Amino acid sequence: MSEIRLKIDGKEVTVEAGKTILDAARKAGIDIPTVCHHEKLESFGGCRLCTVEAESGGRTNLVAACIYPAANDLVVWTRSPQIDKIRKVLTEQLLAYAPESEVLKAIAEDYHADKDRFPKEPSFCILCGLCVRYCAEVKKKNVVGFLDRGPCREINFIPELAAVECWDCKECFPLCPTSALQAAFVLTEALISLSPSLQKIDTRAKTASA
């Protein structure tokens, strides 16, 4: 496979063709924050915290490092006053949804973000999509998905599938950068315990896995 040579923060980096700026930076030990990226999943480009400056052909653009392909002679800067400001504001916005997220609090500290800048709307889910994509792409189950659009968008377990698939899995739980996933699952469990038909599915699943 052909190799790509680029420069990140003044450092020469070589990666395989097809890799992204984020892959190249991680290979070089350069930290770029992200809350929606996972190495086992397709790149999503959702949170935009990984925004960097990429110079090519005399032009400089702000790009999402997790989806922008590494290319020969690309010059990348991962920190600048503009980048830091973008990350600061994005983190402040995300903290309005998930003020107790330890992942976000750590990023906020690095970028001097004010956790009280925006009015709190604690849905707790920051719609990073890690749980949804992990369940679909790695587990091939599609038990958890997005419901609704725009400001009403939220994640939701399908109770009939959760009753069968989730008890022995829960692999998505540690991926969640907030407490939203556990909360949604607890709600689903409550729903299952209230529904006699779902209880039957649950009992059969537990018997089968015993």
Instruction: Kindly state the smallest distance separating residue 132's Cβ from ligand SF4, in Å.
Output: 6
Instruction: Kindly state the smallest distance separating residue 147's Cβ from ligand SF4, in Å.
Output: 11
Stretch of residues binding ligand SF4 (CB under 6 A), selected from 20-28, 48-56, 112-120, 174-182: 174-182
Q: Which of 64, 70 has the CB closer to ligand SF4?
A: 64
Does residue 166 bind ligand SF4 (CB under 6 A)?
no
Q: Which of 34, 78 has the CB closer to ligand SF4?
A: 34
C-alpha–C-alpha distance, residues 124 and 155, integer Å:
11
Residue of 126, 163, 166, 192 interacting with ligand SF4 (CB under 6 A): 126
Strands (E), the chain: 3-8, 11-16, 51-56, 59-64, 75-77, 144-147, 154-157
Please report, as residue ranges, which positions from 129 to 158 form the binding site for ligand SF4 (by CB under 6 A). 129-131, 155
Burial of 193 (0-12, 13-18, 19+ CB in 10 A): exposed
